[in-house]
Copies of this chain bind each other. A is one copy, B any other.
């Protein structure tokens, strides 16, 4: 029935509300629209999550990783990161194992969904493999501990290249490198040096450097000042959440992790919300829009546009909204409304 060969994509529904919102993606986003558009996606579903899967006795199997490596594209739901439980976050493990070096989060004001800001239209690009996330920590003596922040030329160049490439490909005009090189002269200094080197190859893109504290102040005062932001890992973690807050929260913002050799694992970055899991109350928007990011990565822009439009229209219309957006719709009603807009 399909005129082109099907694209297989990995799906990790994840923890908590993950399975429900993944269901919504499958129902609405892809199966239907892709059939219509004759661009089929076949989902290869794997369990990855914080509970041990009774079938595999594992929370992350080698097969799950291989699936992404083979398919080169995937979509993941939320996975809980327990604080201080002694084992490493699954989100992080996936990033490291798959060498997902750039985390890309477009963030724009949603028409019809009112927040204090209506002029946000930016993209944060976060180095995703090193920096403060090295995992290297030691007790020096009793009562004195240290964490190592590692910055490498290789990873910094790679993410800077990606940021400028992205800016150019998406018709964006400015790249801001965010840093604290006035304090961390060596690590953030190296990061900036790499950004500058790459910036020279893109004379058509304006390049600037902004200290992170000042950046946060400017973002809350006037987010329209920013276009594409590129930064080390922790700053990216902080600033991408701040930006999500400007437009309504992590329930609304897509995210996509880019790996070597064109791998893309799109991801809803909100929590797994165990309190509402299984109640058909979760908002699937972030996962749906992350799916859109995945389509864009596959350069299926027409299809991406169409789904994105349907999601945004449904939210703008305001008739069907989940509780986190002040409405009282169930996940399935909201999903159906989106399908109707397609």
Residues of A within 8 A of B (CB): 81-84, 86, 89, 92, 115-117, 132-133, 137-140, 142-154, 180-187, 189-190, 211-214, 216-221, 234, 237-242, 244-246, 248-250
Contacts and interface: CB of A to CB of B under 8 A. Distances in A.
A153 B145 CA distance: 9
B185 A213 contact: no
Nearest to A221: B245
Contact of A245 (B217, B244, B249): B217
A189 B84 contact: yes
Oligomer: number of copies:
2
Contacts of A182: 81-84, 89
A234 B180 contact: yes
A149 B149 CA distance: 7
A83 B185 CA distance: 8
Most chain B beta-carbon neighbours within 10 Å: one of A139, A213, A250: A213
A237 B89 CA distance: 26
A241 B221 contact: no
A131 B99 CA distance: 28
Contacts of A146: 148-151, 186-187
A144 B152 contact: yes
Nearest to A185: B84
6 contacts: A84-B185, A116-B116, A132-B183, A147-B148, A217-B242, A217-B250
Given A116-B116, A139-B186, A242-B242, A150 B144 contact: yes
Name the 5 nearest CB pairs between A and B, nearest first.
A143-B153, A217-B245, A213-B241, A137-B186, A220-B245
A83 B245 contact: no
A248 B218 CA distance: 10
Contacts of A133: 183
Contact of A218 (B143, B185, B245): B245
A208 to B, nearest CB: 13
B148 A183 contact: no
A205 to B, nearest CB: 21
A154 B239 CA distance: 30
Most chain B beta-carbon neighbours within 10 Å: one of A82, A84, A92: A84
Contacts of A214: 241
B245 A216 contact: yes
A79 B16 CA distance: 49
B150 A148 contact: no
